[in-house]
Amino acid sequence: MRGLKSFVKRALVKTGSLELAARFRVPRAAILMYHSVRADPKLGADWIGPGITHSTRVFAHQMELVGRRFSPVTLDHILLFLIAQKQLPRRAVAITFDDGYLDNLEEAATVLNRLGIPAAFYLTTGLIGQADAPWFCRVRHAFMKTKRNEWPSSGHQRNWELVAPASRDAALSAAYDLCSRLTKKDQQQAVYAIELELGVEPVLPESRLMMNWDEIRTLRRSGHIVGSHTLTHPNTAHVSQEDALRAEIFESKRQLESYLREPVVHFSYPHPALRPQWNAKTLAMTREAGYATAVTTNPGPIRAHSNPLLLTRINAGSTEDEFLWNLERTFAET
Ligand SMILES: [Zn+2]
């Protein structure tokens, strides 16, 4: 069944049926979502999971397809389209990266600059230049390294079984849920507690995972957009304290603006765990902070009436078929 489904998808993409269908529809854009791009994704996989990593080879191929078969546009262009000041080219595609991994500069930007494709990079400012890994990478690392058969979680007041792969995945997911409600020191303490409870030394990654300010300026000088991805990467819809939430949304913007000496108007909602990833309060706050656009991880195309502060994004997928299917479907859907 799966084979047949992918055959049909491939046939629809290869024959151009979806492209033909899209030709007669209203203008729309697709925003592609990436995180990490590494020459060898297996290296460092204890920290950054395969679900958010593309190999440089696959990423380069995907960008070549974007350059050949679609029209690359910037987030600024999409904003102008949404406020009816600029038209979109046919099959407009914007590229985005979340978190601020060093490989974004070393691997992804090298490909993008060679092909002349612009992108937006959303940075978690509390992680900029840090030797330490983001909290969700540390939690993943602890679960990858633990020798224990059980996680006695003080946060949940219960033990999680770790032997069967499905139970271990459920425990990891519960750990993400626990930390994604927290910010700053509370979040750090929760991560330390998890490492302690799993019997894993809190170590630094073998090499720095995140970009520093000089590297971000280099990205910016190449013409890419820099946006905010909060201070400490919580799920903002689940941060209960108002002042902590304000700091995540306002302070990250202020830091970027002060280091880059220019306005920063693009925001990306972190989505490490839990649903939803935004609510009426976070929406009002992104507006109040002065962001002009905000992207989510919800799927779907950008249309003229899309809310600029709740923009949908497309999963890039890992194979060529999946990548083209996800994009073509975006332009073909009614
Ligand atoms: Zn993120």
pLDDT on residue 22: 54
Q: How confident is the model at residue 10 (pLDDT cuts 50, 70, 90)?
A: low
Which amino acid does the sequence have at 309?
A: L
Alpha helix ranges (H) inside 133-272:
135-145, 165-180, 184-197, 213-221, 242-246, 252-260
Q: How far is the CA of 269 from the centre of ligand 1 (A)?
A: 8
Name the least confident of 9-23, 171-185, 214-228, 284-298: 9-23
Q: How far is the CA of 252 from the centre of ligand 1 (A)?
A: 14
Q: How far is the CA of 311 from the centre of ligand 1 (A)?
A: 15
Which amino acid does the sequence have at 11?
A: A
Beta-ladder partners of 101? 210
Q: How far is the CA of 128 from the centre of ligand 1 (A)?
A: 13
pLDDT on residue 21: 56
pLDDT on residue 4: 52
pLDDT at 25 over 80: no
Domains in the chain with CATH codes: 2-131+209-332 (3.20.20.370), 135-197 (no CATH)
Q: Which tokens go with 230?
A: 């909060």
Alpha helix ranges (H) inside the chain:
2-14, 17-23, 56-69, 75-82, 102-103, 109-115, 135-145, 165-180, 184-197, 213-221, 242-246, 252-260, 280-289, 320-332
Q: 224 and 211 in contact (C-beta within 8 Å)?
A: no
pLDDT at 292 over 50: yes
Rounded Cα distance between 229 and 213, Å, is: 15
pLDDT on residue 295: 98
Q: How far is the CA of 9 from the centre of ligand 1 (A)?
A: 30
pLDDT digits (tens, 9 = 90+) for 82-97: 999 999 999 999 999 9
Q: How far is the CA of 278 from the centre of ligand 1 (A)?
A: 14
pLDDT digits (tens, 9 = 90+) for 106-123: 999 999 999 999 999 999
Name the least confident of 24-28, 109-113, 143-147, 235-239: 24-28
User: In which residue are the tokens 């038209």 written?
Assistant: 87
Q: How far is the CA of 98 from the centre of ligand 1 (A)?
A: 5
pLDDT on residue 12: 64
pLDDT digits (tens, 9 = 90+) for 158-194: 999 999 999 999 999 999 999 999 999 999 999 999 9
Q: How far is the CA of 249 from the centre of ligand 1 (A)?
A: 14
Q: How far is the CA of 237 from the centre of ligand 1 (A)?
A: 14
**Half-sphere CA count of 74, side-chain side, radius 13 A:** 13
